Amino acid sequence: VDRVRPDLVLREAGELAAAPVAAARSIPLVTVAFSGVLPERARGEVVEDLRPLWHAEGLGDPSWADVYGQLYLHPFPVSFGQRPDAPVVRPIRPQGGSPSEPPADWVAVLGVDRPFVYVTSGTEPPSVTFPWRELLAVLDGADVDAVATIGPHVDPAAIGAVPPNV
């Protein structure tokens, strides 16, 4: 950070070291939440564990608000109940819009007659290590409708045959 001198530090909510590093250098910090909000009951312990790092950066004791930075971009819908209670939080959910074409017929029946299962291992390179073949074998025998998203790193040929209910 000292060598590069960024204009902004962008971090994920689960990464905690960037906050004191940015604060000590007066670099704006933006949190982009890809993971959920840390439960209230754990925040005091986390702030206490962060104290030595803040002190090593020449800062005073941290508060939970300090960890959020100057802006916290929150992608989750209200129904998740995960919106942090802080003035720096801004929602980043897509608003409105309409599809360019209607959904395929198979989408309308998902979860109507039997449970619906959605599976993903994310879209990052480690998704190739997910046990896709084993998962598909389990889903093949299950009375469910399932959608599995594999991301760009998984070769569809490497996962084998996809059952008709997936």
**Confidence bin at 137 (pLDDT 50/70/90):** very high
Mean pLDDT of the chain: 88
In this prediction the pTM is 0.58
Q: What is Dmax (Cα atoms) for the chain?
A: 60
Which residue type is seen at 123?
T
- What is the pLDDT at residue 102? 83
Residue 166 C-alpha from the chain's centroid: 24
CA distance 64 to 72: 12
Closest of 39, 1, 37 to residue 20, by C-alpha: 1
- Percent of the chain at pLDDT exceeding 70: 97
Q: How confident is the model at residue 36 (pLDDT cuts 50, 70, 90)?
A: confident
pLDDT at position 95, please? 64
- 88-103 pLDDT, tens digit per residue, is 999 887 666 677 788 8
**CA nearest 66: which of 122, 129, 16?**
16
Q: Which residue has the higher pLDDT, 151 or 117?
A: 117
pLDDT digits (tens, 9 = 90+) for 117-128: 998 887 777 778
Is the separation of the CB atoms in 11 and 31 below 8 Å? yes
Q: What is the pLDDT of residue 134?
A: 92
